[in-house]
Amino acid sequence: MTKLWDSLKNKTKTIYELTKEFPEKTYRELEKYRDADRREEAQRIITQQENEELKENQLTESQRRQMELEPIETESWEKKYVREHKLRQEAEGETTIVKGIGQNSPEMKAAKQKIEELQKELDRVKKENNELYNRIADLTNADSNLEKARESGL
C-alpha cells in the first residue's frame, strides 16, 4: 500500500495545480476530477503490480521446473556414460576372446605351419641362389684369368 500511496502522491495533481489548469471549474468538480484521476492511477498501478507478481511467479515456476528437470537430465547422462563404458569394456573383452580363439584354432595352427614351411623353403632358395651367384662369379673370374693368361702368351 505504501507503494501505491507514494505513486499516487507523486503523480496526481493537487487542487491548486488543477485550479490553475482549469480556472472555470468549481472546487467540487476539480475534486471529482482529481478523485477519478487517482482511482484510474491506482487501478493502473495495481494492475502493474499484479503483472509484476505474475511474472515473478512464472519465473519462479519456470526456475522450479528447471531445477526439477536438471537432476533427471544429469542422471540420464550419468546412466548413458556408465552404459557406454560397460559396452566398450564388453566389446574389448569379446575382441580379446575372438583373437585368442583365432590364434588357437586348428586353421590358425595349420596356417602358422604353412608359413614356417614357406619361410624355410624361401631361405633354402636364397642360399642356393647365393651359391650359384658365387659359382658364376668364380667361373667368370676364371674365364677372365684364362683370357689374360692367353693374352700374355701362356
Q: Please report whether residue 138 resides in a domain.
A: yes
CA nearest to 35, candidates 59, 60, 21, 18: 18
Q: Please report whether residue 28 resides in a domain.
A: no
Q: Please report whether residue 145 resides in a domain.
A: yes
- What number of CA atoms fall less than 13 Å from residue 11's CA on the CB side? 15
Q: Please report whether residue 71 resides in a domain.
A: no
Q: Which domain holds residue 145?
A: 109-154
Q: What is the pTM for the complete model shown?
A: 0.33
Mean pLDDT of the chain: 79
Q: How far is CA 128 from CA 15, 79, 134, 135, in A?
A: 130, 66, 10, 10
Q: How far is CA 76 from CA 68, 69, 80, in A?
A: 13, 11, 6
For residues 96 and 112, give the distance between their C-alpha atoms in angstroms, rounded to a whole number.
Answer: 20
Report how many domains make up the chain: 1
For residue 18, count other CB atoms closer than 10 A to its CB. 19
Q: Please report whether residue 151 resides in a domain.
A: yes
Phi, psi of 111 (to 5 degrees): -65, -40
Q: Please report whether residue 101 resides in a domain.
A: no
For 111-149, write each residue's pLDDT tens digit.
Answer: 889 999 999 999 999 999 999 999 998 888 877 777 777
For residues 92 and 96, give the distance between their C-alpha atoms in angstroms, rounded to a whole number.
Answer: 6
